[in-house]
Amino acid sequence: MGRILAIDYGIKRSGIAVTDPDRIIATGLTTVDTPTLLSFLQDYCRKEPVDLFLVGEAKRLDNTPSESMRYIEPFVQKLAQSFPDKSIARIDERFTSKLAFRAMIDGGLKKKQRQNKALIDQVSATIMLQNYMDSVNYK
């Protein structure tokens, strides 16, 4: 069974999280500069088996697509073209950044560490992945 790889897509940088091979634990992997994201994913998939990409859907509170979706949708299309053998799932990413920030506070990170936006993106991807695993009963 391959891993699930979650992407918290952003204009400048994207947070990445993955499951372990048995899909039990969601772990933050890294943050990647978005212009290099596809090449990072190609390299990662050469080294590790990935069955599914999970990409966040940016929505407003009224459930309509947010402005960010105009950047995310073209990426998802490129992702599908680049990896035709992999599945792509979508998940609501509302509030993941706030939850990530709260998790960092609860985890005891100092203020300087909590200001690291790259770390927030990585934690956000991990939260999205864990939410997805919980929703499909990957426990």
State the CATH number of the domain containing residue 104. Answer: 3.30.420.140
Q: Is 134 exposed, middle or buried (0-12, 13-18, 19+ CB in 10 A)?
A: exposed
Count of domains for the chain:
1
Task: Check if the beta carbon of residue 25 is closer than 8 Å to that of residue 117.
Answer: no
pLDDT of residue 139: 46
In terms of residue numbers, what domain contains 40? 3-135
Please name the residue that has the structure tokens 């390299």. Answer: 43
Q: Residue 128, Cα to own-chain centre: how many angstroms?
A: 6
Please name the residue that has the structure tokens 């680049």. Answer: 82
Write out the chain's pLDDT in tens, 139 residues: 899 999 999 899 999 999 999 999 999 999 999 999 999 999 999 999 999 999 988 766 676 666 777 898 999 999 999 999 999 999 877 556 655 556 655 566 565 665 556 667 777 898 889 889 888 865 4
